[in-house]
Amino acid sequence: LVVSCISSGGLLVYAENVDNNEKAVERSRLDSKKRKKIVVLGTGWAGTSFLKDMDISSYDVEVVSPRNYFAFTPLLPSVTCGTVEARSVVEPVRNIIKKRNGEIQFWEAECLKIDPENHQVICRSTIENLVGENDFSLEYDHLVVAVGAQVNTFNTPGVVEHCHFLKEVEDAQKIRRTVIDCFEKAVLPGLSDEERRTNLHFVIVGGGPTGVEFAAELHDFVHEDLVKLYPSVKDLVKITVIQSGDHILNTFDERISCFAETKFQRDGIEVLTGCRVVRVSEHSVNMKVKSTGEYVVVPHGMVVWSTGVGTRPFVKDFMEEIGQGKRWILATDEWLQVKGCPDVYAIGDCTTVDQRKIMEDISTIFEAADTDRSGTLTIEEFQDVLEDIIIRYPQVELYLKSNHLFQVTELFKDSQGNEREEVDIEGFKLALSHVDSQMKSLPATAQVAAQQGSYLAGCFNRWEQCNANPEGPRLFGSAGRHAFRPFTYRHLGQFAPLGGSKAAAELPGDWVSMGRSTQWLWYSVYASKQVSWRTRILVVWDWTRRYIFGRDSSR
């Protein structure tokens, strides 16, 4: 008896003897013909979380990405100064996908074009010196676009040529080498003090979380390690953060941005707010001071550009093709399906969810809720459909919470504040008129990307089950994908490491925590969020090594 095991397209087929074996091959070939094919573009936060949660026993999954690894981006700022090694924050994609009970195909290539008409994507291998054809195309039944965003230079002259970015692992490694180079340059004989000072002026454009964290990390590196190695120039080092808004970390709670500004001031990190960089050249930054309108030239040794993200060109082309050409960013509906393009889904930084306004559907909702057709809604009638409404329009829940409305009766009060038993359509509109103002676009963060990836995987996993047995909100149709609840984001808080073993954190429920203990919280959260035990151990070892021996300052 020969027991052989053929793994084909995610199906494990056991055959009892060679004859059966052949039949099994044939059967699984037929099976895989029927099986829908999902192509995933990208192996970042969104793509990887999709793959991890995807049950591939009923789909064939193929992945295309120019990088054959996942990068744990929140630790990239630590890589810039050698606090953590680059190898410790990446996990090979093949390690992640091999763990599955079937097979996921991976192609190291870049998608050049999405062709929705023919259900295919055109790809090009990014490997140099390839023997054979570089270009190929893949057909899909469902396409998942998870390609992230690219750096946004706002077309500022000189940025591409003279600035460092902090987006990829290679960027972080390049920054690390350049920082050391700046110190080596500054100690060479024959330089004036002014020249040394310029070489040691580190400018960060953008006061968001990444820019601020890098500034803090660089400050620690300089003051904990480099001053001991380059004592002659230690007083000439300067770090400047240029921010166009009025405050750094302006997406965080006010208390945190205030704490960060005070801490930076104490540390000697200069923060220039209200300044817009208009040009960057090899040794200087030209900026406009918004309040006075004057232009200031700042000499620099190195600039890191960290001012937000933009859409990749091939995604832009795709948007043109499907009628989203006027938008800045690819839009999906609340089920993460690309608007105007069935069978294409988009998750993560490359996309935004176009949340439906309740006011657009208000009459339909009213009619559906008014079960006795009386032309008015009683509180009971409204209460009956409220749960369904909240599923479809999550802003309603946010509105009720943020206005401390715990009872529907409070929503139904008239302008004098009197409670009402029932409302007509006009009264209903009035009661919900401010709800849509609660809609906010989701931030471009790993948290959002990962939640979207796992939500979408869940939809695919339950697809057949849901089609057969729709369970969706009864108010708004119940067939097909509407059996799935729309995507809703759960904000679990965010961190801002500020250097000197201090961090700030915004936690759910309006909690703010700052200081040393928060840094320990940061260590434990980031260790636990690692995608594998391998990277977890490497990262914790790097932290320990830095604590004992300091950072490695060779270039």
Residue 10 within binding range of ligand FAD, rule CB under 6 A: no
d(CA 8, CA 513): 51
Contact residue for Mg ion among 11, 146, 277, 504 (CB under 5 A): 146
Residue 446 within binding range of ligand FAD, rule CB under 6 A: yes
x/- binding map, residues 69-108, to ligand FAD, per CB under 6 A?
----xx-xx-------------------------------
d(CA 109, CA 19): 39
The option from Mg ion, ligand FAD, none interacting with 67 (CB < 5 to 8 A, set by class) reads: ligand FAD
Q: Cα torsion for 10, 16, 17, 20, to the nearest 10°?
A: -60
Taking alpha carbons only, the member of 288, 200, 203, 210 closest to residue 244 is: 288
Q: What angle do CA 334, 335, 339 make, to 5 degrees?
A: 75
Taking alpha carbons only, the member of 114, 141, 123, 115 closest to residue 37 is: 141
Minimum gap (Å) between residue 184 Cβ and ligand FAD = 25
Minimum gap (Å) between residue 460 Cβ and Mg ion = 16
Number of residues that bind ligand FAD (CB under 6 A): 33
301 vs 348 by CB, closer to Mg ion = 348
3-state secondary structure of 318: helix
Residue 74 within binding range of Mg ion, rule CB under 5 A: no
147 vs 503 by CB, closer to Mg ion = 147
Contact 66, 168 (CB under 8 A): no
Contact residue for ligand FAD among 45, 106, 252, 476 (CB under 6 A): 45
Provide the 8-state DSSP code for 349: G
Minimum gap (Å) between residue 200 Cβ and Mg ion = 32
Minimum gap (Å) between residue 348 Cβ and ligand FAD = 2
Contact residue for Mg ion among 17, 262, 265, 374 (CB under 5 A): 374
Q: Which residues contact 245 (CB under 8 A, 6 or more apart)?
A: 207, 273, 274
Contact 207, 243 (CB under 8 A): yes
Interface of this chain with Mg ion, residues 174 to 203, rule: CB under 5 A: none
Contact residue for ligand FAD among 13, 24, 39, 46 (CB under 6 A): 46
Contact 336, 452 (CB under 8 A): yes
Residue 499 within binding range of ligand FAD, rule CB under 6 A: no
Q: Angle, to 10 degrees, between the axis of helix 446-461 and the axis of helix 45-53?
A: 30
Stretch that binds Mg ion, among 120-128, 376-384, 500-508, 524-532 (CB under 5 A): 376-384
Residue 67 within binding range of ligand FAD, rule CB under 6 A: yes
3-state secondary structure of 430: helix
One-character DSSP codes across 71-100: E-GGGHHHHTTTSS-GGGGEEEHHHHHHTS
Q: Which residue has the tokens 């006011």?
A: 359
Contact residue for Mg ion among 220, 370, 506, 542 (CB under 5 A): 370
Minimum gap (Å) between residue 66 Cβ and ligand FAD = 5
d(CA 519, CA 179): 25
The option from ligand FAD, Mg ion, none interacting with 372 (CB < 5 to 8 A, set by class) reads: Mg ion
348 vs 473 by CB, closer to ligand FAD = 348
Contact 84, 543 (CB under 8 A): yes
Contact residue for Mg ion among 128, 161, 294, 372 (CB under 5 A): 372
Number of residues that bind Mg ion (CB under 5 A): 13
| Distances, alpha carbon 15 to alpha carbons 2, 19, 32, 386, 500, in Å | 8, 8, 17, 54, 62
Residue 249 within binding range of ligand FAD, rule CB under 6 A: no
Minimum gap (Å) between residue 315 Cβ and ligand FAD = 8
Stretch that binds ligand FAD, among 45-53, 132-140, 180-188, 381-389 (CB under 6 A): 45-53
284 vs 307 by CB, closer to Mg ion = 307
Please give the span between the terminal C-alpha atoms of the chain, in angstroms, as a whole number: 61
One-letter-per-residue 3-state SS of 357-372 = CHHHHHHHHHHHHCCC
Contact residue for ligand FAD among 146, 216, 269, 285 (CB under 6 A): 146
Contact 35, 61 (CB under 8 A): no
Contact residue for ligand FAD among 82, 211, 348, 394 (CB under 6 A): 348
Interface of this chain with ligand FAD, residues 295 to 334, rule: CB under 6 A: 312, 314
Q: Where do the H-state alpha helices sit in 187-275?
A: 193-199, 209-221, 227-229, 254-267
Contact residue for Mg ion among 38, 45, 75, 411 (CB under 5 A): 45
3-state secondary structure of 551: coil
47 vs 207 by CB, closer to ligand FAD = 47
* Chain Cα centroid distance, residue 446: 4
- Residues lying near Mg ion in the complex (CB under 5 A) are found at 42, 44-47, 71, 73, 146, 348, 370, 372, 374, 376
- Give the residues lining the site for ligand FAD (CB under 6 A): 41-47, 64-67, 73-74, 76-77, 110-111, 146-148, 166-167, 210, 312, 314, 348-350, 444-447, 449
